[in-house]
Amino acid sequence: MVPSKLKNSVAEILRQADVIVDGDRPWDVRVKNDRAYLKLLGGGSLGLGESYMAGDWECDRIDIAVDKIYRANLAQYITRNPRFILQAASAKLKNYGSKKEAFQVGEQHYDLGNDLYKAMLDSRMIYSCAYWKNAKNLEEAQEAKLDLICKKLHLKPGMTMLDIGGGWGGLAKFAAEKYGVTCTIVSVSKEQMKLAAELCKGLPVECKVQDYRDVTGLYDRVVSVGMFEHVSPKYYRTYMEVVKRCLKDDGLSLLHTIASKITDLNVDPWVHKYIFPNSVLPSLKLIAESSEKLFIIEDVHNFGPDYDTTLMAWYENFEKSWKGPLAEKYGETFYRMWRLYLLMCAGSFRSSELELYQVVLAPIGRTGTYQAVR
């Protein structure tokens, strides 16, 4: 039996964000099992996520609720929780991002199933923030993002490009076809590289299952899209040194990454356990510090709000495709987990709790003047 005082306490906290317990608006929370109250106050983000996966509470528009909660600064009630403090301390001590753990995120997340990602993403299977400035739909927005990256890198026919992360080969395929570039992709995801090799067949694109620290060779350009989130702060400098080692003296590198609005080395317990193991979000400060004395930061472009739009497009595709083979294969608990993941992230970008940066880096001593592209 959950005490009424505890229920009232949770309800009052949420009311500060205009989220009403058992209200009838799309962003209100409907409690189905009273243990949700205990999970929220006793288990932080992990308890909140697991109680939703278990069906203890419902919310039609989690994205709106999350946006409201962040804008009202209610996350403080979770971070004050003693269990959260212990989890945060443990995260700082753990050696996230080591070679031993590097392949775990590939196995748990990116190797989930190409059928899921084909259903959710655009035709090129681009699993990173799209660029919506002049786009009408997800397909146009993802192509605009790929072209934006190529233009920021000043790609020219005959150049070589290293893609660290690579996804399903969408960027490398686009660069090879549209800009005449020879590409090498390295990734910790076996399933992604298998499909990428098929999609890039006949093009000058090589796909390798490999940790970024083991890359050899020299390239005109180095790019990383949606991979730096998995590096871990302990290895940011190592990452930058690898890029510097692999980049020609007159080369350019582009880093596309989700980032925290503040420097925070904590690992979110629910995200770590169920979505992206060992992942820590960088801040712009940490990116700058890790590149110091190696690179000049030529350009920083923040289009975080575009990730909100991208995630909602993915969510719409996910919902439309769920019934049938996907539902039979993955099950109801996975559906609730994935729904929470997509909508929670959308709300986080909408509130600017999370940002999306594209950072162009040039080796110190590079000749010529960089012309920024928007």
Q: Among all residues, which ones are annotated catalytic? A: 345
CA-to-CA dists, residue 96 to 105, 149, 159, 279, 356, angstroms: 11, 28, 34, 7, 22
- Can you tell me which residue has the tokens 């690992």? 267
- CA pair distance 328, 331, nearest whole angstrom: 6
